[in-house]
Amino acid sequence: MNKIESNKGWLFVLPVFIVVAFSAVIPLMTVVNYSVQDVFDANTRFFTGTEWYRTMLNDPQLQGALVRQFIFSFTILAIEVPLGILVALMMPKKGWQASLSLVLVSLPLLIPLNVVGTIWQIFTRTDIGLMGWGIRELGYAYNISRNSGDAWATIILMDVWHWTPLIALLCYSGLRAIPEAYYQAARIDRASRWAVFRYIQLPKLTNVLVIGVLIRFMDSFMIYAEPFVLTGGGPGSSTTFLSQALTAMAIGQFDLGPAAAFSIIYFLIILAVSFVFYTTIMHMQKDKTTQKTGDS
Amino acid sequence: MNWMVWTLPTAGFFSAIAVILAGMTVWQYFSPSIERKGFLPISTTRGDRLFIGLLTSAFFHLGMIGFTEFHVLVATALSVVWVVVLMRWG
């Protein structure tokens, strides 16, 4: 393959580079500077070196938040991805039913995050909320502000309700991109419904699924508004996720040094996971192209 | 620049990163990188290996600072060796 490389291309990237420098790079550098100092005000600051990092890495509260964060992210991925594929497979393919179902499925995606939290907060109230009242009437003492199991189940249910449509829409578009000829060939071979899914639809969905998983992982790892509004991180700290623990420290207690050190650790974790996902995507596509050229 | 609360070590760190990036650019200009397969499970370019090296070094530093009593410069020295090995044979 002859790819022409011209360094003039960099000139066109320059405006974006400047914007990113001011919106991301310079603030990030400032956070790094904060993380090695104890800053009181504009003129009073002490160099602390790696002390904040040591404190943060050994802080049981933040370790707890990190573990909860990973459990949460992987739980919602394990539910949303299969469910999203299922929804996409069941959505009508053409006609007004297809348009209607697309609109209905994408509705939750249009609601702002804190409004989602408020909706579920009211929905799960045991005096006026349909879900909370309904579960109470069925005989279970449902209470998200007392029982951490209830709180967890509700937050996961809320996230599944809010974000499964994203996976479903991505998969729906992926499914629509499969040429009819594949299905015809499958019918000629009298392939079962499962075989069609396993050997035609799922392989064709791989790319959109990896993107979907990447977006959902990053988003869920940064989740803040919904649990904050719904449970406030409680009961105790059983649903306090990373960003909320961080905000409490940086804004609530104004411990800018430790909060900055923790931000850097948080950033490195997201960067590492995203890099692994990105490499996986690129790797899979590369494998496919080499396979194709090998076949022909 | 006072609001960015610079310190000597962080200034040194970011200068080093800037020098490495500039150096990589010059190197790439005079001798373009060829993607190849080393001991890493994926084939990588020079820039990929640098990124992997820096990211793993960052986690290595965190591990050393958080859970051992060694001075941070011990971690830095070991990281430099690791990045060089990775750049050459990775």
pLDDT tens across A94-106, in order? Answer: 888 989 999 999 9
Distance, in Å, from the CA atom of A153 to the CA atom of A241, rounded to the nearest integer, reads 15
Q: Is any Cβ of chain A less than 8 angstroms from the Cβ of B27?
A: no
A50 contacts B65? CB cut-off 8 A? yes
Q: Which residues in chain B have their CB less than 8 angstroms from residue A49's CB?
A: 9, 72
pLDDT tens across B53-83, in order? Answer: 999 999 999 999 888 888 888 999 999 999 9
Q: Which residues in chain B have their CB less than 8 angstroms from residue A272's CB?
A: 55, 59
pLDDT tens across A120-142, in order? Answer: 989 988 888 888 899 888 888 88
CA A238 to chain centre: 20
The reply to whether B23 and B57 lie within a common domain is: no
The reply to whether B46 and B25 lie within a common domain is: no
B72 contacts A275? CB cut-off 8 A? no
Averaged pLDDT of chain A? 86
Looking at chain A from residue 48 to 107, which residues have their Cβ under 8 Å from any Cβ of chain B?
A: 49-50, 53-54, 56-58
The reply to whether B27 and B42 lie within a common domain is: no
- Residue A294 is predicted with a pLDDT of 43
Q: Give the list of residues 6+ apart from residue A73 with CB closer than 8 angstroms, or none.
A: A217, A220, A221
Task: List Cα–Cα distances, A193 to A54, A170, A181, A232, B69, in angstroms.
Answer: 55, 21, 16, 45, 59
The reply to whether B5 and B25 lie within a common domain is: yes
- Residue A210 is predicted with a pLDDT of 83
Report the phi/psi class of residue A240: left, alpha or beta, with left for phi > 0 and alpha for psi in -120 to 50: beta
Q: Give the list of residues 6+ apart from residue B37 with CB closer than 8 angstroms, or none.
A: B43, B44
Q: Give the list of residues 6+ apart from residue A214 with CB closer than 8 angstroms, or none.
A: A274, A277, A278, A281
The reply to whether B44 and B26 lie within a common domain is: no
**Residue that is written with structure tokens 């702002």 in the block:** A112
The reply to whether B14 and B51 lie within a common domain is: no
- Residue B82 is predicted with a pLDDT of 94
The reply to whether B55 and B89 lie within a common domain is: yes
Q: What b/e sequence results for A225-253 when a residue is b if at least 16 CB atoms lie within 10 Å of its CB, and e otherwise?
A: bbbbbbbebbbebebbbbbbbbebbbeee
The reply to whether B19 and B48 lie within a common domain is: no
Please tell me the total number of residues recorded for chain B in this structure.
90
The reply to whether B48 and B63 lie within a common domain is: yes
Its domain, for residue B14, covers 1-32
Taking the domain A20-291, which CATH number applies? 1.10.3720.10
Report the phi/psi class of residue A232: left, alpha or beta, with left for phi > 0 and alpha for psi in -120 to 50: left
B72 contacts A50? CB cut-off 8 A? yes
Q: Which residues in chain B have their CB less than 8 angstroms from residue A261's CB?
A: none
- Residue A285 is predicted with a pLDDT of 67
Q: Is any Cβ of chain A less than 8 angstroms from the Cβ of B72?
A: yes
Q: Which helix (H) or strand (E) holds A39?
A: strand A37-39
| C-alpha atoms less than 13 angstroms from C-alpha of B10 in its C-beta half-sphere | 20
Which of A163, A122, A161, A160 has the alpha carbon at shortest distance from A144? A122
The reply to whether B71 and B46 lie within a common domain is: yes
Q: What b/e sequence results for A201-213 when a residue is b if at least 16 CB atoms lie within 10 Å of its CB, and e otherwise?
A: beebbebbbbebb
B3 contacts A30? CB cut-off 8 A? yes
The reply to whether B44 and B87 lie within a common domain is: yes
Distance, in Å, from the CA atom of B27 to the CA atom of B18, rounded to the nearest integer, reads 14
Domain ranges for chain A: 20-291
Indicate the pTM of the whole model. Answer: 0.81
Q: How many domains does chain B have?
A: 2
